[in-house]
Homo-oligomer: A and B are copies of this chain.
Amino acid sequence: MRTPETWSVRDAPEEITVYEVGARDGLQNEQTVVPVEVKAEFIERLVDAGARAVELTSFVRGDLVPRMGDAEQLMARLSLPADVRSVALTPNLRGVQRALECGIREVAIFASATETFSQRNLNCSIDESLARFEPVVALARANGVAVRAYVSMCWGDPWEGVVPLEAVVRVGCRMMDLGASELSLGDTIGVATPGHVVALLDAFGAAGVARDRLAVHFHDTYGQALANAAAAIGAGVRIVDTSAGGLGGCPFAKSASGNLATEDLLWHLHGQGVRTGIDLAALVETSEWLAAHLGRPSPSRVVQALTR
């Protein structure tokens, strides 16, 4: 079978926005460094397949994150349709300046829900990171550029363990207060389960954040990503972050911890009659093509099943 049978579900949404993070979150966490022309073709193929929200790259220091050191060259190669949300990660003021020079339409920032990961990943406290984002968001918005905000470690932290709901809501709400228009809640280590997912969504609701501002971002480290996405959708979330082919986690590496694979989510959604606008077959072909460049099979089960 090349596509799932469609069995409509009562209360299922008509449409879900799939926010494609493969070119950024995915490739940034792959062992193989992909040449800029392959990245550009990958993104164009994603858009041709119907992706309408795509994270392109990260404007970081190339000496610190070599995989993303080609942001300007990549942007120069791309010519994306106006109806595509094309987003770049910009961790600081210099990043957003560079992104604006490239004509970016939307930027993303990221903070941690826990102090330990903030120190380890951003090298500063949560408060310091938020203070750093203030001029980033201000500059973006002054240029008519929307801001997406990520919160990582929302459901568990490898050093701190349990992450209180209040801690996540506090960080998320402060980013919204700065001027972000969308909040992506990340299960960075993949430990969440549905009751916890819904509890956090409800905590944001109680704090006044509307459901349509929330996205969910699950990693499949414990095999829970799709079931958690289903629970979030059941609770009213309409934006789900995924990576084509499950990029970012190699099934042959001990550190496998990739994003939810776009194809696996599409099978689940299309099977329920939920529209995504993405052509599954074209996406599978794209992931297979990229896997050849990465020199290993895709960890997406759907890609594996359909390319046998």
Query: Which A residues lie at the B interface, using CB under 8 A?
Result: 1, 4-9, 12, 155-156, 158, 161-162, 189-196, 198-199, 220-224, 226-227, 230-231, 251-252, 254-257, 261, 264, 267-268, 270-273, 300-302, 304-305, 308
Contacts and interface: CB of A to CB of B under 8 A. Distances in A.
26 contacts: A1-B158, A1-B161, A1-B189, A4-B193, A4-B222, A5-B155, A5-B156, A5-B162, A5-B191, A5-B196, A7-B193, A9-B195, A12-B195, A193-B271, A194-B268, A194-B271, A221-B301, A221-B305, A222-B301, A222-B302, A223-B301, A224-B267, A230-B231, A254-B304, A254-B308, A256-B301
Given A7-B195, A222-B264, A190 B305 contact: yes
Contacts of A257: 305
Given A193-B268, A223-B302, A226-B226, 8 more contacts: A5-B155, A12-B195, A190-B301, A195-B272, A222-B302, A222-B305, A224-B226, A224-B268
Mostly helix, strand, loop or mixed at chain A's interface? loop
Contacts of A261: 223
Contact of A267 (B8, B222, B255, B264): B222
Nearest to A221: B305
Which of A156, A231, A304 counts the most chain B CB atoms within 10 A? A304
A160 B267 CA distance: 19
Contacts of A264: 222-224
Nearest to A230: B227
Given A195-B272, A254-B308, A255-B308, A223 B5 contact: no
A212 to B, nearest CB: 23
Given A224-B268, A226-B224, A256 B193 contact: no
Contacts of A220: 301
A194 B158 contact: no
A261 B1 CA distance: 23
Contacts of A256: 301, 304
A272 B193 contact: yes
Given A254-B304, A268-B227, A191 B222 contact: no
B272 A194 contact: yes
Contacts of A158: 1
